[in-house]
Amino acid sequence: MWAATLLGMRVLLCPDKFAGTLSAPEVAAAVAVGWRTVTDGDDLLIRPLADGGPGFVEVLAEALGGRRVPVSTVDPLGRPAAGEILLTADGTTAYLESAQACGLHLLSAAERDPKTTTSYGLGLLVAAAVESGARTVVIGLGGSGTNDAGAGMLAALGVTPLDLGGAALAYGGAALAAVDALDGAPRLRGVRLVAATDVDNPLLGLHGASNVFGPQKGADRADVLLLDAALERFAAVLERDLAGCPAGLGALPGGGAAGGIGAALLALGGDCESGIGLVTRATRLDAALDTADLVITGEGSFDHQSLRGKVVAGVAGAARDRGVPCVVVAGQVSTGRREAASAGVTDAYSLVEHFGGEEGGGLDAALSRPAEGLRELGARLARQWSRRA
């Protein structure tokens, strides 16, 4: 019996990013370093995760290998931005993420205005993936600062929205209130498009892109009403003028992802697929969960949205199904214990609370020194959970 208690544990570290501070691999590495300061007798499996948002390409590159190809693109205001595509070793599949061109993190608080921001830069990334020779292009959707239903992306791919006089529309969601027709055809060379997202919101309506996500991007109530009406008009034009666009575009699940980019990809004949499901398969997470004694996951803010289709929810549910304890580390924790427990979370640890005794409060320290805090939390977890501590 005593010998059994000295056996090392198999600990699975599978966090999401801490948005704005650390990537998912950096989060996992910091917790691992802290754990090993207490004991090096445990087997730590590091499997960083992502859904379709920021970090999607980085996590898949770690899991799949392949070749990361730099691509020059533009941000939501048309300024130069650095993007990339990940090509699999055989060159048949390309992965990219919308956040590299459309990300909310690319805008200052004063610049956030979904009436004018554009997805044009994403179209440049998709075009580069098509030109690479890939036959399937997987686009991670999430973290966007746009609400133009992918109109900018379509323009970069050769489909230009026009007004009643035949002039090309300005960029941004508000301009779509005047859309009357489309000019051109998509330059896709028969490539299959896949939208990787865990958002099932439709493009339009009370649960649509404008109403649900617009306020996060700087829209007030008047803006939301204007944008929803503009996107409704654009959806009707897409159904009428774009060959192969499915009927009822505005109500299709996933169409509201990334400010309506999901709808544009559906209009181009694309499919929606779970982002976290895709990453889970690529990282062989299920096999790692089957042999784990403890699971540690996390993200920047563990809140009510975390338990609705995000990385933490998927990991915690899978751990619960296997009877494995699951611990969450986060910058901030606002989810109630009962709600978290019902989702499979055994315990949650917050950097804000960890740094809470410092002068100036824990939030500033959590934002400025997240790696340090995660190393300290990693050591704390090892002391609490490791059989060898």
pLDDT per residue as tens digits for the range 294-334: 999 999 988 877 776 678 988 999 999 999 999 999 999 98
d(CA 37, CA 184): 60
pLDDT of residue 357 exceeding 70: no
Same domain, 312 and 264: no
How many CB atoms sit inside 10 A of residue 376's CB?
A: 18
Same domain, 61 and 81: yes
* Distances 69 to 52, 119, 129, 175 between C-alpha atoms, Å: 19, 20, 9, 33
Whether this model's pTM surpasses 0.75: yes
d(CA 7, CA 168): 68
Q: What percent of the chain has pLDDT over 90?
A: 84
pLDDT for the residue 6: 52
Burial label, 107 (beta-carbon count in 10 A; 0-12, 13-18, 19+):
buried
Q: Are strands 80-87 and 93-97 parallel, antiparallel or unpaired?
A: antiparallel
Burial label, 125 (beta-carbon count in 10 A; 0-12, 13-18, 19+):
buried
Same domain, 250 and 169: yes
The three-point CA angle 4-6-9 to 5° equals: 95
pLDDT for the residue 51: 87
Same domain, 128 and 216: yes
Q: Any idea what the CATH number is for the domain that residue 358 is in?
A: 3.40.50.10350
Same domain, 225 and 342: no
Closest CA relative to residue 98, chosen from 156, 181, 46 = 156
Same domain, 20 and 94: no
Same domain, 265 and 292: no
Contact 14, 31 (CB under 8 A): no
Tokens 């002068």 label which residue? Answer: 359
d(CA 272, CA 266): 8
How far is Cα of residue 300 from the mean position of the Cα atoms in its chain?
Answer: 13
Contact 159, 234 (CB under 8 A): no
Q: Are strands 67-74 and 80-87 parallel, antiparallel or unpaired?
A: antiparallel
pLDDT of residue 169 exceeding 60: yes
pLDDT for the residue 309: 65
Q: How large is the C-alpha radius of gyration of the chain? A: 22
pLDDT for the residue 4: 39
What mean pLDDT is reported for the chain?
A: 93
Phi first, then psi: what are they for 149, rounded to 5°?
A: 55, 30
Same domain, 211 and 290: no
* Residue 43 β-bridge partners: 10
d(CA 212, CA 71): 31
How far is Cα of residue 235 from the mean position of the Cα atoms in its chain?
Answer: 24
d(CA 365, CA 377): 14
For range 99-104, the mean pLDDT: 96
63-81 residue pLDDT tens: 999 999 999 999 999 999 9
Q: 222-236, 269-283, 297-311: which range is least confident on average?
A: 297-311
- Total domains in the fold of the chain: 2
pLDDT for the residue 136: 98
d(CA 102, CA 307): 25
For range 265-291, the mean pLDDT: 94
Q: Which of 249, 276, 303 is the last residue in one of the domains?
A: 276
Contact 46, 23 (CB under 8 A): no
Q: Any idea what the CATH number is for the domain that residue 259 is in?
A: 3.90.1510.10
Same domain, 249 and 224: yes
103-145 residue pLDDT tens: 999 999 999 999 999 999 999 999 999 999 999 999 999 999 9
Q: Which of 251, 276, 301 is the last residue in one of the domains?
A: 276
d(CA 11, CA 43): 6
pLDDT of residue 388 exceeding 80: no
- Give 212 or 387, the one with higher predicted confidence: 212
pLDDT of residue 172 exceeding 90: yes
Kindly indicate the confidence band of residue 3, based on its pLDDT and cuts at 50, 70 and 90. Answer: very low
Same domain, 62 and 164: yes
Q: Which of 222, 255, 276 is the last residue in one of the domains?
A: 276
Same domain, 141 and 230: yes
Give the end-to-end CA distance of the chain in Å, rounded to a whole number.
17
Same domain, 29 and 130: no
List Cβ neighbours of 19 (8 Å cut-off, separation of 6 or more): 54, 105, 143, 299, 300, 301
For residue 175, the enclosing domain spans: 56-276
pLDDT for the residue 28: 96
Phi first, then psi: what are they for 304, rounded to 5°?
A: -60, -30
